Amino acid sequence: MELVVAQNSHEAELIRDGLHAAKIRFVEQTDEESTVLVPGAGRPTRFFVAEADVERADEVLDDVEDQLDEAEEEAEDGFLNDDDDDDGDDEDTKR
């Protein structure tokens, strides 16, 4: 687990951009700390965010929650998204 403390808003921005570039999969936001799960990390990465980044973290969390909800709905419907298959069509594939 990695602990990164942002000393100022510039450092916090670098942390946020670095994690965003790593394709954030999940963000859990509290008042001062965020838990971020990135692919291949195997465990959450925690970092303290500057006050200015709390709003951005909330936006990312909302986006991730929307993606999770959509994935759950697709799973409940028994459909897979064909964006990753090789059949060349845009139709959903029934499991």
Each residue's pLDDT tens digit, 30-66:
555 555 544 444 454 444 444 445 566 677 777 777 8
Cα(63)–Cα(57) distance, integer angstroms: 10
Residue 59: its pLDDT value, please?
A: 75
Residue 60 sits at φ, ψ, to 5 deg, of: -65, -45
90: pLDDT strictly greater than 70: no
Cα(29)–Cα(71) distance, integer angstroms: 21
Report which residue type is found at 43: R
Tell me the percentage of the chain whose pLDDT exceeds 70: 19
pTM of the complete model: 0.31
Cα(83)–Cα(56) distance, integer angstroms: 28
Beta strands in the chain (DSSP E): 3-5, 26-29, 33-37, 45-48, 79-80, 93-94
